[in-house]
Amino acid sequence: TLTGSDRLRLAAILFRGVGASQVAAPWMELENRPEVSDFWDIQGHGDACYRSSKDWLGSEDSMAQSRTDNGHIVFVSHCWSAPVGWAETIPNLTSFSQTKAAELCDYAKDVSAQLYDDASAWHKIGFWIDKACIPQSDPDMMSLCVNLLEEFIALSDG
């Protein structure tokens, strides 16, 4: 059994992130960025999303520098499925995937405005998102990462 500090060290080794511009886009750019809404599509993708993320913290020796290089990272909690009645409420306006991508972009802009006094620097923000930061094709690793969610939250900047 791992101690609290051992769990945090292990989580730091496994901690990954994905850049905001890979999973988010402004409302007006969604039509030209299908890969962004495709990311949020509920259908699988296997480890393709995981391969799009990167080690965010690096090794213990380089953790501070990796944090500086990779920037601010936010833990994203979300629902994969559209809410009941979504299609009736928002008929033919936008998909649930597009809405998630645009809302996440808006959030990244808010964080960027707070951190850098510049909402247009939103692409500097990173996200911890389960689909991209937990390997989906390895059941043992997936279980381990799910059991470390608390530590991943603690390692995030918000």
Comparing CA positions, the residue from 55, 40, 10, 24 lying closest to residue 131 is: 40
pLDDT in tens, 90-130: 766 788 888 899 999 999 999 999 999 999 999 999 999 99
Show the CA angle centred on residue 116, arms to residues 110 and 118, nearest 5°. 60
CA nearest to 101, candidates 17, 22, 158: 22
Mean pLDDT of 125-145: 93
CA–CA distance, 158 with 152 (Å, rounded to integer): 11
pTM of the model: 0.89
Q: Residue 38 pLDDT more than 90? A: no
Q: What is the mean pLDDT of the chain?
A: 88
Structure confidence at residue 82 (pLDDT): 82
